[in-house]
Amino acid sequence: MTLTPVDTAAGTHFLRKPGEPLRIWAHRGGSSSAPENTAASDEVARRAGVDWIETDVQSTKDGVPVVLHDATVDRTTNGTGEIRSLTAAQVAELDAGSWFAPAFAGQRVRTLVQQLDGLRARGGNLLLEIKNVHTRDSVGRIVDDVYDREMSGRVFVQSFEPQHLRWVRELAPELPLGLLRGVLDPDPVAIAKDLEVLAYNPSEAALQTRPGIVAELHAAGVAVNIWTVDNPTSWRALERAGVDGIITNRPAELAGWSAATR
Ligand code: G3P
Ligand code: CA
């Protein structure tokens, strides 16, 4: 299956129009069914027809952007140690699938370039989270990889760190940006405008502290995507609350639920 690339440069289409389905963002790929952030989990999302794959990008000791969520490789590979203390060559040797199930033995921690090449070859777009600690140079290397692979029209960048977003804005003004939040800012609209983000992406719990923020952000032209939501009761509530998208570990199930309940 090859999915149609989405031109993110248009920007405002991340706001969900009345009657449109929720946008589905596959959290670390189809990570309920395959090891997170691997080619296998990307393929689960792709085969479910979900064309936005969320990923976490960090840098190795020698400065190579790789796809990994945790600060260490301990939980999701057969190795140990902090990712920033390992070289790309060392990381490439790790098994990133066996921890999830024996059938996934041989899955690798990919470089960002390898993930982008997979998307180019097989379809899909990237919700790229700049994860954990970065410098301007390491963010620049990520941006360079995206441009080298001619994927700037198919990448949406997000981060919890405003400074990461500012660096991306300086280095690549056309890349769409989203601000991740575990707790709402005192004035979400103000920070969204200041950072020039197209999306404000709070946790489900954060949104529940102030549901009216969806309308306020929409009035400012900012989309709202909620993480990480895996159950249909919440999917229904969030759809009715008017959010634009849901970041989920269960993209295939959300796609089926969305289609079946329309
Ligand atoms: O995309 C939202 C979500 O990924 C943020 O939290 O810890 O899963 O990266 P985390
Ligand atoms: Ca993430």
Which pLDDT tens digit goes with each residue over 198-241?
999 999 999 999 999 999 999 999 999 999 999 999 999 999 99
Per residue in 89-123, pLDDT (tens digit) is: 999 999 999 999 999 999 999 999 999 999 999 99
pTM of the model: 0.95
User: Which amino acid is it at 112?
Assistant: L
> Does residue 11 register a pLDDT over 60?
no
Q: Is 3 within a domain?
A: no
In a domain, 7, yes or no: no
Any atom of ligand 1 within 6 Å of the Cβ of 227: yes
Segment 84-95, tens digit of pLDDT: 999 999 999 999
* CATH number (domain holding residue 208): 3.20.20.190
Q: What is the pLDDT of residue 2?
A: 40
Domain count, the chain: 1
Note the pLDDT of residue 4.
43
The mean predicted confidence, pLDDT, of the chain is 95
Task: Tell me: pLDDT of 50 over 80.
Answer: yes
pLDDT at 262: 84
Which atom of ligand 1 lies nearest, measured to the CA of 28?
A: 4
Q: Known catalytic residues? A: 27, 69
90, part of any domain? yes
CA of 247 to the centre of ligand 1 (A): 8
Asked if residue 2 is part of any domain, the answer here is no
* 1 in a structural domain: no
Atom 7 (ligand 1) nearest CA = 69
Q: What is the pLDDT of residue 8?
A: 46
Over range 152-175, report the average pLDDT: 98
What number is the average pLDDT over the span 172-191?
98
Q: Is the residue at 9 inside a domain?
A: no
Q: What domain range includes position 186?
A: 18-260
pLDDT surpasses 80 at 5: no
Is position 137 within any domain?
Answer: yes
> Which ligand does the CA of 71 lie closest to?
1
In a domain, 11, yes or no: no
